[in-house]
A = this chain, B = another copy of it.
Amino acid sequence: MQRGKSHVSLKDIAREIGVSISTVSRALNNHPDISPEVTRKVQKLAAELNYTPNPLAMGLLKQATRMIGVIVPDLVTHFYSSIISGIEDIAEQKGYYILIASSNETLQKEIKAVENLMKTRVEGLIVCLSQETKNYEHFDRLINNNIPLVFFDRVCRTGEVPSVVVDNVDAAQKITKHFYKNGFRRIAYIAGPDHLNISQERTQGYISGLKSCGLGFHPELLVKCNLSSKDAIKATAQLLNLPERPDAIFGINDTVAFAAMKEIKRQGFRIPEDVALVGFTDEFHSTVVDPALTSITHPTFEIGQEAARLFFRCVENPEAKATQVILNTKLVIRKSSVK
């Protein structure tokens, strides 16, 4: 068998059996007009020859590629990998494939990824914004063309675009209260860039959590970083060097939490005796580190599944109005935050 001809087409089957291409097509689709005998013969041969319809031809004809583009800030974080698995799970059930691209946390690569994926004629996009993204023109173009689009975790344009998020305010409150209950009073928070919804919401939960515990908000205990390991270490150092050191820190996400852990240890502080730590992360790594990290765990697989479900709702009903699915997080208490 030759390269480029390794796939059987309707033509091959038609020639072999001695009927027209259209008859073969109908037979394979169980069209009632075709005689049972021909249908049987065609289907038998097709099975033998391992016929599968050419998706390029179908795509061209139906103007539907059955492909979804997925853009994530990075591929090497368990958080995104796991969400992707969730998307894949639902997509597979619908006979769709996903094309994965990484923005590497930069706006420039995100724009490029949108362009490239649209070039390949994906039917739409499922996206988690890069940390740099505060300009949404590249998405507005999709919105205006009514191309299916779903955001998850880091979202924007929530009025027009369906999205999946977790209840960040609640999560951050849970953390603050947990610290309080365990005797910590100088609770610090390492946030991310202001324009990200996750950062804003968690900040809001942090502050309202402090209030409801009767603690004041001390601006010096809220530091920001750009979500990179390096910057998170700097932020942690800044906190540890305060005249009045915090006795508890929580980080906005995985990367930040682990970086904070490294820096706290490096400076010779004990966790949780000197500084308690809580992360915002998924289940995987929290138990590998030492001490095991108390953290808000995300239902990552479900986030992916929900995002995919919203996506197919868009595909099937382009007029439907944008909804937001809010999932709950869980505070899993481990050693890093209990004296």
Interface string of A147-161 (1 = CB under 8 A from B): 100000000000000
Which residues of A in the span 67-122 have a Cβ within 8 Å of any Cβ on B? Answer: 75-76, 78, 81-82, 84-85, 88, 97-100, 102, 116, 118-121
A52 CB within 8 Å of chain B:
yes
Across the interface, do A76 and B65 meet the contact criterion of CB distance under 8 Å? no
Q: Is A38 an interface residue (CB 8 A)?
A: no
Measured CB to CB, the closest approach of chain B to A294, in angstroms, equals: 16
CA distance A1 to B88 in the complex (A): 29
Give the distance in Å from the alpha carbon of A60 to the alpha carbon of B54 in the complex: 9
Chain B residues with Cβ under 8 A from A119's Cβ? Answer: 52, 55
Chain A: interface size category: 35 or more
Task: Tell me, yes or no, whether A261 is within 8 Å of chain B by CB.
Answer: yes
Among candidates B6, B146, B258, residue contacting A145 with C-beta atoms closer than 8 Å: B6
- Contact B287–A262 (Cβ < 8 Å): yes
Residues of B with C-beta under 8 A to A99: 97, 99
A146's partner among B3, B7, B285 (CB-CB below 8 A) is: B3
Taking CB atoms, residues of chain B closer than 8 Å to A262 are: 287-288
Residues of B within 8 A of A145 (CB): 1, 3, 6
Within A233-277, which residues are at the interface with B (CB < 8 Å)?
258, 261-262, 265
- A283, chain B: closest CB distance, angstroms: 11
Are B78 and A84 touching (Cβ within 8 A)?
no
Q: Is A45 an interface residue (CB 8 A)?
A: no
Task: Identify A78's interface contact among B52, B76, B85, B88, CB under 8 A.
Answer: B76
Contacts of A147 in B (CB 8 A): 3, 6
Q: Hey, which chain B residues are within 8 Å of A82, CB to CB?
A: 76
A72 to chain B, nearest CB (A): 11
Of all A-B residue pairs in the complex, the 6 with the closest CB atoms, nearest first, are A290-B290, A76-B81, A6-B145, A56-B59, A4-B63, A56-B60
Residue contacts A-B, CB under 8 angstroms, 19 given: A1-B146, A2-B146, A3-B147, A3-B318, A6-B145, A7-B121, A56-B56, A56-B60, A56-B65, A56-B121, A60-B60, A76-B81, A76-B284, A85-B102, A100-B100, A261-B288, A285-B288, A288-B289, A289-B290
Extra inter-chain contacts (8) besides given A1-B144, A76-B82, CB under 8 Å: A52-B118, A55-B121, A56-B59, A75-B84, A85-B102, A97-B99, A99-B99, A290-B290
Chain A contacts to B: CB under 8 angstroms? 1-4, 6-7, 52, 54-57, 59-60, 63-65, 75-76, 78, 81-82, 84-85, 88, 97-100, 102, 116, 118-121, 144-147, 258, 261-262, 265, 284-285, 287-290, 318
